Amino acid sequence: MTPDLEDRPLPRGRFDIWLAMGSAMVLGLMMLFVFAGVVMRYAFNAPILGANEVLELASVAVVMLAIPYCTVEDGHVRIDLLDGALGRLGRWITEILYRVVGVAVLFFVTRSYFDRTLDAWAYADTTNLLRIPIWPFYGLVLIGMGLFAAILALQMLRMILRPGPIR
């Protein structure tokens, strides 16, 4: 299980909550868009041109805007088969290792997306059909993954400096 992160690494009234609300709004708009697409296709035989592109890009926004909130709230899916056998210290070490590996992997992901964002902007990359610029969505991945890494690093630092109870 996860250590008690009762005092979260970011203050209440947090930026991650605003991002999560943005994610929820985009998800709601996606649902309306899909509904409209189904009605247009089957009722009027007039599908929405480029609907798949719009939904793909909106999916990026939904996930990347929600990741920081999910991380702060410790909402990521985990398998805790060995927690009972590891004991408190073993679980604490596992949580630290999870965060170390996560920060390391996310460092490379953010570096990669930083370069991709700049390249997409420099070359004016767009989607195939609707010609929607791609760089803002690469930027969302960069921001989402960067915040994910920063939150994991802050949680790890807090766990090391002020070890608390492990559930």
Q: What is the pLDDT of residues 38-76, one digit of tens each?
A: 999 999 999 999 999 999 999 999 999 999 999 998 888
Residue keyed to tokens 């803002």: 136
Q: How confident is the model at residue 146 (pLDDT cuts 50, 70, 90)?
A: very high
Cα distances from 126 to residues 41, 121, 122, in angstroms, run 25, 9, 11
pLDDT band of 106, cuts 50, 70, 90: very high
Q: Is the pLDDT of residue 125 over 80?
A: yes
Of 73, 98, 104, the closest CA to residue 86 belongs to 98
Name the more confident of 46 and 166: 46
**What b/e string do you get for 11-22 counting C-beta neighbours within 10 Å, with b at 16 or more?**
eeebebeebbee
Domain assignments of the chain as residue spans, ordered by start = 15-161
| C-alpha distances in Å from residue 64, one per residue of 16, 69, 83 | 11, 10, 29
Residue length, the chain?
A: 167
pTM: 0.84
**Cα 34 to Cα 37: distance, rounded to the nearest angstrom:** 5
Return d(Cα 167, Cα 92) in angstroms, integer: 10
Q: Please give the C-alpha separations between residue 58 and each of 50, 55, 69, 134, in angstroms, as whole numbers.
A: 12, 5, 18, 12
